[in-house]
Amino acid sequence: MGKKEEILEQALKLFSLEGYENVGIQKIVDSADVKKPTLYHYFGSKQGLLISLLDTYFNPILAELEAVCKYSGDIVKTLEDVTTLYFDFGKNNQDIYKFIQSMKSSSLQSEARLTIESYKNREFNMVKNIFILAENDHGNMKGRSFNFALTFLGVIGAFITSFYDGECQLNNDVVYQSCRQFMYGIFS
């Protein structure tokens, strides 16, 4: 592993454990066993390091999300595909998932929140678009895509958090049940 990758890996560990705002450059370089000029050479700043982390770890999941958010007439199947993607990501990338979630809920004016905002909006809009497209097939959904997307992502997040707490599994049965329970309220 090269120095750049080592800095990214150590920064991710520290940020996921302590939060972005609580970790300084010195702690990162000490953990990665490099000098400050090395970090600045690769990333320019702490925020540059953060952007590189998001590009390295969050952009790939957003690209996969874009691929599964293709609504083709079966809303439940589309939501199951999205849920499976998030569950797999949450199971296999706990540090990254927790770090991203912490940034999304950080103070509105914090550097972390301002930096992740465009990634967060891209993610949300892809999910919201599923519900917008489904409105043509399900008239009772009209005008509520924002609420559906927000609630749906919240349900997924709650299951992943419960998995981390050892309270549930993230498997095909949970995908099936959670998506059908979510849609039951819309279809009824």
| Predicted confidence pLDDT, tens digits, the chain (188 residues) | 789 999 999 999 999 888 899 999 999 999 999 999 999 999 999 999 999 999 999 999 999 999 999 998 999 999 999 999 999 999 999 988 988 988 888 888 989 899 999 999 999 999 999 999 998 888 788 889 999 999 999 999 999 999 999 999 999 999 999 999 988 877 76
Cα Rg of the chain (Å, integer): 18
Q: What is the CATH number of the domain that holds 96?
A: 1.10.357
Instruction: Please give the residue range of the domain that contains residue 183.
Output: 57-187
Residue 154 in any domain: the answer is yes
Q: How many domains is the chain built from?
A: 1
Residue 160 in any domain: the answer is yes
Q: How far apart are CA 104 and CA 185, in angstroms?
A: 27
Residue 180 in any domain: the answer is yes
What is the number of other CB atoms lying within 10 angstroms of the CB of residue 102? Answer: 18
Q: How far apart are CA 24 and CA 27, in angstroms?
A: 5
Residue 82 in any domain: the answer is yes
Residue 85 in any domain: the answer is yes
Residue 128 in any domain: the answer is yes
Residue 36 in any domain: the answer is no
Residue 27 in any domain: the answer is no
Residue 73 exposure: Cα atoms within 13 Å on the Cβ side = 0
pTM over the 0.85 mark = yes
